[in-house]
Structure 1
Amino acid sequence: MTRTNSHIETDVIVIGGGFGGCNSLYKLRNLGLSVKLIEAGGAFGGVWYWNRYPGARVDTEMPSYQFNIPAVYKGWNWSERFPGDDELRRYFKHVDSVLSLSKDTFFNTIVTGVQYESSTGRWNVSTDTGLTANCKYVIAATGSSYKKHYPHFDGLEKYSGKLVHSADYPEKLDYKGKRVGIVGNGASGLQIVQNLAKEDCELKVFIRTPCFAIPMKQRSISPEEAEMMKGYYDGIFDRCYGSASGFPHNTLFQSAEQASPEERKVLFDELWARGGYSFLVSNYYDFLLNEKANSIFYDYWVQKTRARMTDSAKMDLVAPLKQHMLVGTKRPSLEQDYYEMIDRPNVTLHDLKSSPIIDFDARGVVTGNREATQHHELDILIFATGYDAVTGSLSDLSIVDKSGVPLAEKWKNGVLTHLGLMVPEAPNLFMVYGPQAPTSLANGPPFIEMEVDWICKAISKMQSEGITAIEPTQSAAKAWREHVFAVSNHTLYPKTDSWYMGANIPGKRREPLIYLGGMQSWWKSCMNALENWEGFHTST
């Protein structure tokens, strides 16, 4: 529903209608609470409501990327190993139909303020439609990928062609005979290039940092196979919850250096052929801890990748023989035929490191350096430049704590949370899929279910003990932040500028935004905190 200029009094306001928001609404209602959800889009789905660019597709394979709710999955069969955006939107429509979520949801409504009122111990929520709300609990389930990042370029306002962001893609875009440029080489950029290269267009791909992509091995799933797999769902979901990363894959507790080159090749070949994230999740554990082990992975990957291409200049840009990146420290992508597509004659690759964008004019882009400049005429320019990830959407909520301090001000010297779930001085405000939790390095739905389960356990415990409010102590949050940093520093992640480290946004503080200790370590800390409210202030 979409209603404006109205006011609601409720127990819980959930902000965001993706996996986290839908799961929160469903489970908190089951506790007997009155719950309302506010969603910026016109339907459920979160990132899958907004992502409509060519080739948009999830890179976690089914059946582990869905709600573990029997009433939902009994009536739904996935048609592909890695479903596309359209199927995911249909899935959320099915979820809504089964769980009756829309009746408690305000769509096309953007939250503009969340302020705690100490005198009442409740939160006041304001929106762009005039809807206001007052509640005891707030669930900020805004996700990691909502706030679009538009990079700053001199003269961009002069460009008169069609300008598109991958997260705000038009329903119809005519490419035929057009000169199309794409800036950005992450997951969305790869999927767009992979699809547009097949169109009747001239495609120019501006690459600053080449992606690391491994075979998806996409395939169709018959209805019979989908039904058969439901007999294993309990085992698959249990494996997801009990793993470090939320994936049901086999794990290998062996160092790459402990294996012989022959043993490594046998394993690498097997996992490569299997497709998906098996090559990373089921492989030698130390490639993210040890540069030598990482180089072994890179050397295998680069040979497999170059063998799929014919243009040596393109090979040297996207898969140079000398290792140019640490495997896995930026978001790895899954591809179907990306390397064959960029090898096509209608696709040109431009190296932004040697010749960056220096200006725009009405007809296109100017790149160059001290030696020379080059003008690229473009009819369409696509920014596949991602998001102000993990923290950006939270900052936009204008959360103000009980001392009157905005969240952006609280975090100006670094993110401070306890367990990635709560913030000091913000009673009864919970985050789902936020910073300093396993978040973006975990399989989303199973991890989100664990977070929501913890929130439900916490609220149930509060009710049974007559507690009206909880909030983490400053000392507990500082200790958790130090732990997040310490774990990160034992890995190779800090050696790479990535959105995991907040390094994709100019001016954003560079720090580990994701807890790298794995879901089991994080969950143990979460459950320990519930035993006697260790690390929390409680109010009665």
Structure 2
Amino acid sequence: MPGMQRDIQESTARANADRADSPNGVYPTETLDAVIVGAGFAGVYILHKLRKAGFSAKIIEAGSGLGGIWWWNAYPGARVDSQYPIYALSLPEVYEDWNWSSHYPDHHELRAYFRHIDKKLSISKDTVFNSKVTHANFDESNDLWQLDCDSGRSFKARHFVACLGFAARRHFPDWEGLDSFQGEIHHSSFWPHEGVDVRGKRCGVVGTGATGVQITQEWAREIGDEGNLKMFQRTPNLACPMNQVFLTEEEQAEDKKRYPELFNQRWDNYNGFLYQFQPELMLDASEEERQKMFDMLWKMGGFRFLMHNYKDMTRDFKANRIAYDYWHDRIHERVKDERKAELLAPAEPPHAFGGKRLSLEQDFYDQFNRPNVDVIDIKTNPIVAFEPNGIRQQDGTVHELDTIALATGFDSITGGMKDIEITGLGGEKLNDKWKMGTYTYLGMTTARFPNFYFTYGPQGPTAFSNGPSCNELQGDWIVAAMEKMRDNKQTRIDPKEEEEMRWKEQVNELAKVGVRGHTNSWYNGSNIPGKPIEALNYAGGIPVYIREIGRERDEGYPGFRLQ
């Protein structure tokens, strides 16, 4: 498996190069007020806020540059699906002289954006790159965290902030012979930044989540007429049209006058976007009214057909089916081959519309009208093995391939933190505490792990919200808690066990309200064998979440033990 081996070798080489910067590869332990793990939106924002508040802090980042998931997301077709202008930091000093090319920029532009952030905020000055945190231990004798990295670096800090995002730990299904494949193979999360040449090649994409859709769409264009592309599908992605819009500098200059208003508007909407569900009920509307609404949302594009639709669309299964049937008919209008169309958009829903994360597509469905682009059903005829020359299905069919993209997803929400050995009070390991279920308070802290915070993680709005929106409101809360402790000369903040039990019950109850709470997906951990199936995202919406965490802050943190 040359491609995968090269990825691992390059990662090791980066770590070794970092060690070489120090004599004998040994570093002194640095002591700081706070250590942030992860240099994506959350880590960058929190470092900036901590500096302004007078704290000493550094980011530790496993990658070689800023961007978090956007440093690693170099696979073909990777682009944002949160619409301009709110998939960005709300800091005027960053946005005042930055212009986007479109409503949905790609990974190249996102990495350029993080270079711009660095230029404006000097984030790299306080970032340690090519270092993956492997151990984090809380020292009860002095209320400090000790963090150790694979690069040989170590840090002590009063506060430990994990800004790992929900997709920090890639997942590989347990396929026989995966290492035997002799062609080029890459997981979407560890893609070569120089790209992969697929022109004229026999290619396979395994997985049909948002990433699988994007890679398939892009590779279908890149293979040319001589190449061949097969997308191996277990579950169809109920993708909606992106309807990309390109921007001029003049338009953005006008928009920036309203940026403060628009960024504040995020807090009023359920998902942290600039739109949310309609107050009317689909089942109260006439067929003509529904058709008019659906047509309008479909034309507008983006997540609007899901998130700007009638209020009961994601809460009532009858209303949800009506929306699914509309989606099904639109896809069948585009895919001319009935076999392909039925696999991509079956007459009977594979799950509730929006129950699993859908993707935004540009010409994904149209590409299947090409004779050299196909969808392979692996639900009824599963993959049983990888072979030196390709992939074998249960019925013995072997698909000969030169290049494979694994879009097999992640151990989402909790996987990144479980990838670090985190030890709290009394030597308790976070992995042991969360083995049978996840427990947090406010989706940012967990009992018996003092001075430990996390963003865009378990039991927060996370995957049900716009990322930068969630990260900023959580980042502000975390920095405020640190300031409160400093002002009161306190060295430890630890949530009460009874409060995290109450929070878990609230998260579970809210999950039952919508169709997502009744659908198995990575939203609830069901994509990972042996992982507890549970509500992992806070489904109450951004405005309610803001009230919850604001009440805790304004009342002096009654849900915590402070000392």
Aligned partners of 2:204 and 2:229 also within 8 Å: yes
Q: TM-score under structure 2 normalisation? A: 0.93
Q: List per-residue Cα deviations over 1:42-97 (Å, max 9, x = no partner).
A: 11101100011111100011111100100100110001110000000000000011
Give the length in aligned residue pairs.
536
Aligned to 1:533: 557
Give the aligned residue type for 1:437. G
Q: 1:358-397 maps to which residues of 2 (within 5 A)?
A: 358-368=384-394, 372-397=395-420
Aligned equivalents of 1:27, 1:318: Cα separation in 2: 45
Q: 1:268 Cα shift?
A: 0.8
Structure 1 stretches lacking a partner, 5+ long: none
Give the aligned residue type for 2:212. G
SS in 2 for 1:197: helix
Aligned equivalents of 2:351, 2:276: Cα separation in 1: 26
Correspondence 1:180 to 2:171: no
Runs of at least 4 residues of structure 1 off by over 4 A?
Answer: 1-4
Q: 1:342 Cα shift?
A: 2.0
Aligned equivalents of 2:491, 2:331: Cα separation in 1: 57
Give the aligned residue type for 2:545. W
Aligned to 2:464: 441
Correspondence 1:55 to 2:77: yes
Correspondence 1:319 to 2:345: yes
Q: 1:198-213 maps to which residues of 2 (within 5 A)?
A: 198=221, 199-200=223-224, 201-213=227-239
Aligned partners of 2:270 and 2:276 also within 8 Å: no
Q: 1:379 Cα shift?
A: 1.1
Identity %: 40
Give the aligned residue type for 2:557. W
Correspondence 1:426 to 2:449: yes
Aligned equivalents of 1:172, 1:40: Cα separation in 2: 20
Aligned to 1:12: 34
Aligned partners of 1:203 and 1:347 also within 8 Å: yes
Aligned partners of 1:159 and 1:360 also within 8 Å: yes
Aligned to 1:500: 523
SS in 1 for 2:426: coil
Give the aligned residue type for 2:250. E
Aligned to 1:266: 292
Which moves more between the two structures, 521-530 or 110-119? 521-530
Aligned to 1:24: 46
Q: 1:467 Cα shift?
A: 2.4
Q: List per-residue Cα deviations over 1:243-279 (Å, max 9, x = no partner).
A: 1110011541111101111111111111111111122
SS in 2 for 1:373: coil
Q: 1:299 Cα shift?
A: 0.8
- Root mean square deviation, CA, Å: 1.3
Aligned equivalents of 1:145, 1:172: Cα separation in 2: 21
Correspondence 1:400 to 2:423: yes
Aligned partners of 2:75 and 2:191 also within 8 Å: yes
Aligned to 2:101: 79
Label 1:250 to 1:211 Cα distance change in 2 as closer, same or farther (>3 A). closer
Structure 2 stretches lacking a partner, 5+ long: 1-16
Aligned equivalents of 1:136, 1:230: Cα separation in 2: 38
| Residue from 512, 530, 538 that aligns with 1:489 | 512
Correspondence 1:464 to 2:487: yes
Q: 1:501 Cα shift?
A: 0.6
Aligned equivalents of 2:356, 2:527: Cα separation in 1: 11
Q: 1:466 Cα shift?
A: 3.0
Aligned equivalents of 2:245, 2:556: Cα separation in 1: 49
Aligned equivalents of 1:176, 1:479: Cα separation in 2: 55
Aligned partners of 1:194 and 1:342 also within 8 Å: no
Q: 1:361 Cα shift?
A: 1.9
Aligned partners of 2:66 and 2:115 also within 8 Å: yes
Aligned equivalents of 2:551, 2:524: Cα separation in 1: 27
Give the aligned residue type for 1:358. V
Aligned to 2:157: 135
Aligned partners of 1:241 and 1:447 also within 8 Å: no
Aligned equivalents of 2:31, 2:258: Cα separation in 1: 42
Q: 1:494 Cα shift?
A: 3.1
Aligned equivalents of 2:105, 2:66: Cα separation in 1: 17
Give the aligned residue type for 1:78. W
Aligned equivalents of 1:204, 1:323: Cα separation in 2: 23
Correspondence 1:125 to 2:151: no
SS in 1 for 2:425: coil
Aligned equivalents of 1:341, 1:526: Cα separation in 2: 46
